[in-house]
Amino acid sequence: MFIPDKFQLGAHTVNVLKDVPLKEAWGEWNNETKTMRLRKPSKRNPDTFYYQTFVHEIVHAVLDTMGREELSKDEGFVDAFSEYLAQAILSSKGGFGISREEKE
């Protein structure tokens, strides 16, 4: 499934760094630099787990960009919201127009 190297969020360009050797988390969001870092996928976890981590970090990015830092800091809220959002995207026919694979 395709995860972009960057995307637009409002007037900002968000950079996505993949396969980063994170030790404490599966992903990280830095609002100051508008950078998302994703841990290298694990053989123990399915691709959907990696994709859900990407969506989880998107939720942090959206909430912080909206000025809703208190919700962004609520990991229970972010995790639940991103889990349902990832499910809606992945289970829909055509993925809401989101390609699961990189276009050539």
CB 62 within 8 A of CB 34: no
pLDDT digit string, tens, across residues 52-68: 999 999 999 999 999 99
pLDDT of residue 92: 76
Structural domain boundaries in the chain: 6-94
pLDDT band at 96 (very low <50, low <70, confident <90, very high): low
- Distance CA(92)–CA(6), nearest Å, equals 23
* CATH T-level topology, domain 6-94: Arc Repressor Mutant, subunit A (1.10.10)
Q: Are 55 and 49 in contact (CB under 8 A)?
A: no
Q: Contact 33/52 with Cβ under 8 angstroms?
A: no
